[in-house]
Amino acid sequence: MTGDDMVDGGVCWTPSPEVIERANITRLLRRHGFDSLAALHARSVEEPEWFWPAVVEDLGIEFFRPWQQVLDSSAGPEWSRWFTGGLVNVAHNCVARHAAGDRAGAEALVWDGEDGAVRRLTYGELGDLVARFAGGLSALGVTAGDRIGLFLPMVPEAIVTLFAAASLGAIAVPVFSGFGADAVARRLDDAGARLLVTADGFLRRGQRVPMKEVADAAAVSAGVARTVVVRRLGGDVPWRAERDVWFDDVVAGAAPLAPVPLDPEAPLLIAYTSGTTGRPKGVVHVHGGFLVKAAEEYAYQFDVHPEDRFLFVADMGWIVGPWLATGVGCLGGTMVVAEGAPDYPGPDRLWRLVERHRVTCLGLSPTLLRALRARGDAFVDGSDRTSLRILVSTGEPIDDESYRWLLDRVGGGRAPVINASGGTEIGACFLAPHPVAPLKPTSLQGPSLGMDVDVWRDDGRPAAAGEVGHLVCRRPWPGMTRGFWNDRERYLDTYWRRFPGVWFHGDWARRDGDGHWYVLGRSDDTLNIAGKRLGPAEVESVLAGHEAVAETAAVAVPDELKGQAIWCFCVLKDGATGDEGLRRALCDRVVASVGPAFRPKKVLFVDALPKTRSAKVMRRVIQAIATDADPGDLSSLEDAAALDAIRKAR
């Protein structure tokens, strides 16, 4: 079904009988005698002791020793433990078992460099690299429980490092490849990392980006004893023989080590996410729960099969990187990773990646999607995208125009948009469609399997259909963080003390009368105008629908009359003029869509919006600058010049 067939609020995509028949979720439904997704979801929530073992069996996930108890919440839901008494290892399930089995000759990883270089690794080759690097790390003194910094661009060695650390029971600490030395050092120091894996540099937008110099400064500041360096660019780099060693030398001289059996609660990684203060949060994920939940979602929501090739525009420093490696790896699919920017050396680079590597599953953020859409349709239309069968949007709410463009223009109306909402601390999705049920534009369809989510009012009562409320989860799930590294109280304050015993996520959500779910943005981004409340995404979606607007951010600022007023910061498309006529037109558009009470007080035109390195708009920073408040942690900011643009416009 195409955009011409869509009615606002109606179904925009319906699965064909062929799509339903080949879907992994269909196999699971039939295997256990369910006639609907709703019935399966209800049992997955009510009987976790039945559901999660059923997933493990269906997906062939291997435990070295069976668990004695699926779920142990004796210490409270906040500290739930899963698959207790068992033994497991992520690296065994995602690499080693495939390398030793019938997937050994299949491609595990395809890497595309910005300069056109391509590397391909089969599961056999990836398994050999992981085993030898694990052996090399062991020879350098790394043992179970040690923290290993992972400060790498999207190169194959980033995947190798994640799984080599997991093989030993060491804990990976992924750090975004674009961070400066101070941001890297803060995370390494907080985690207590004893070894850092980095690269000599990488390419981005035609420039050589040095990493070794940044890594050196961070290592000194954080007291890191050893640094392993991946050759990507070549040439001379600063070198300290007593600390530094080349990745290739570590691998060449190492005896391979197989993954060791681990307690399912053994930490796998510490994923840092920015906070509102200057101290990032170290989110802890573990082998058993992260593995099983990631595999479940990639199998049943993204419908990944062994023959699929999944490209997620991501970095190993954000949760999507490890999530992709674990989900696709466990299912024996192919990861496609790319160096550099998705719109360089030309605006069509992402679509050329899809064409060149016959990508079947494509994941990207709404912010990136809006930027690509603003470049025009010609760059998409000039590529062959017939291989695509699944499209994934995640990271923030998606606007209606971008959703429809992704569905119709990019996917040709064939591939469903799996609009997923999760988070670093969730290690999974609370809400995401399954590709066997109809979709509405921007809808997340419903809860992920095993997730007991609801929408609550301020008083803790369930919200009615159509009513905006807080997204909560009433029961624990396997992929849930095991807390913040060295910060127990902050974890409890953030998620568990607003509604005791219930996970408070900090997102606004609502359900429509047909049971479709929508996430409206962070509750701390809320627009509360004269006592009337809505999420910024509702205003931003309206503005983004105007032909002159490329992207926008709506924030609330203090107002003497209404308590708060709406300021909208808009980036215009090439050729558009930000004059008073356009300001009035945009204000009128908001009024017509969401009502007179929400007429923006200001519409300001800027060259760029402050974004994180993972392409999320930093509304709290925009709001802080607009109100002369402290913007808090800026370590994840991509372009400091965007802050100046906001200051000049206000």
pLDDT digits (tens, 9 = 90+) for 281-325: 899 999 999 999 999 999 999 999 999 999 999 899 989 999 999
Structural tokens at position 270: 């510490």
Amino acid at position 192, single letter: G
Confidence category of residue 634, pLDDT binned at 50, 70, 90: confident
How many other CB atoms are there within 10 angstroms of residue 207's CB atom? 12
- Tokens 């790896």 belong to 329
Tokens (6 digits) for 356: 């060149």
- Please list, residue by residue across 409-437, b when 16 or more beta carbons sit within 10 angstroms of its beta carbon and e when fewer do: bbbebbbbbbbbbbbbbbbbbbbbbbbbb
| Structure confidence at residue 486 as a pLDDT band (50, 70, 90) | very high
pLDDT at 5: 32
| In contact, 569 and 536? CB cutoff 8 Å | no
Closest CA to 405 of 385, 430, 428, 432: 385
Task: Let me know if 235 is exposed, middle or buried by CB neighbors in 10 A (0-12, 13-18, 19+).
Answer: exposed
CATH class of 52-436: alpha beta
Question: Using CA atoms, how far apart are residues 541 and 590, in angstroms rounded to an integer?
Answer: 9
pLDDT bin (cut points 50, 70, 90) of residue 7 is very low
- Does domain 526-649 correspond to CATH entry 3.30.70.920? no
pLDDT > 70? residue 368: yes
pLDDT of residue 234: 93
Q: pLDDT band for 560, please (50, 70, 90 cuts).
A: confident
What is the predicted pLDDT for the residue at 3? 31
**pLDDT of 378-424, one tens digit each?**
999 999 999 999 999 998 888 899 999 999 999 999 999 999 999 89
Q: Give the mean pLDDT of 119-131.
A: 98
- Domain positions in the chain are 52-436, 526-649
Tens digit of each residue's pLDDT (9 = 90 or more) over 450-465: 999 999 999 999 999 9
Report the distance separating Cα 51 and Cα 40, nearest Å: 9
Look at residue 530 in the predicted model and tell me its pLDDT.
Answer: 61
- Rg of the chain on CA atoms, in Å: 24
- Position 470: which residue type? H
Please say whether the dihedral angle defined by the alpha carbons of residues 212, 213, 214 and 219, taken in this order, is positive or negative.
positive
The rounded distance, in Å, linking the Cα atoms of 285 and 479 is: 7
If pLDDT is split at 50, 70 and 90, which confidence band does 532 have?
A: low
Report residue 8's pLDDT band, with 50, 70 and 90 as the boundaries. Answer: very low
Is the peptide bond preceding residue 345 cis, with omega within 30 degrees of 0? yes
The average pLDDT across 624-648 equals: 82
Check the CA dihedral 101-288-293-507 and report its sign: negative
The tens digit of pLDDT for each residue in 53-105 reads: 999 999 999 999 999 999 999 999 999 999 999 999 999 999 999 999 999 99
Among residues 581, 72, 486, which one has the least CA distance to residue 281?
486
**Per-residue confidence band for 328, with pLDDT thresholds at 50, 70 and 90:** very high
Query: Contact at 8 Å (CB) between 444 and 433?
Result: yes
Rounded CA-CA distance 365/397 in Å is: 9
Comparing 618 with 307, which gets the higher pLDDT? 307
Tokens of 196: 């850092």
Phi, psi for 88 (deg, rounded to 5): -155, 165
- pLDDT of residue 110 exceeding 90, the answer is yes
Residue 367 has pLDDT above 70, yes or no: yes
More confident site: 447 or 617: 447
Tell me if residue 89 falls in helix, strand or coil.
coil
Identify the pLDDT of residue 531: 58
Is the confidence at residue 572, as pLDDT, over 90? yes
pLDDT confidence of residue 275: 53
- Any residues with CB less than 8 A from the CB of 313 and at least 6 apart, and which? 338, 342, 350, 363, 364, 365, 368
Handedness of CA 287, 293, 297, 303 (dihedral sign): positive
The C-alpha atoms of residue 627 and residue 624 are separated, in whole angstroms, by 5
Task: Provide the CA 563 distance to its chain's centre, in angstroms.
Answer: 34
According to DSSP, residue 397 is labeled P
| CA–CA dist 356, 354 (Å, integer) | 6
**Average pLDDT of the residues of the chain:** 92
Greater confidence (416 vs 534) lies with: 416
Mean pLDDT of 507-527: 86
Model-level pTM greater than 0.75?
yes
**SS3 of residue 584 by DSSP:** helix
Q: What is the pLDDT of residues 146-157, one digit of tens each?
A: 999 999 999 999
| Interval 331-347 mean pLDDT | 95
Q: Are the C-beta atoms of 342 and 369 separated by less than 8 Å? A: no
- The confidence score (pLDDT) of residue 533 equals 62
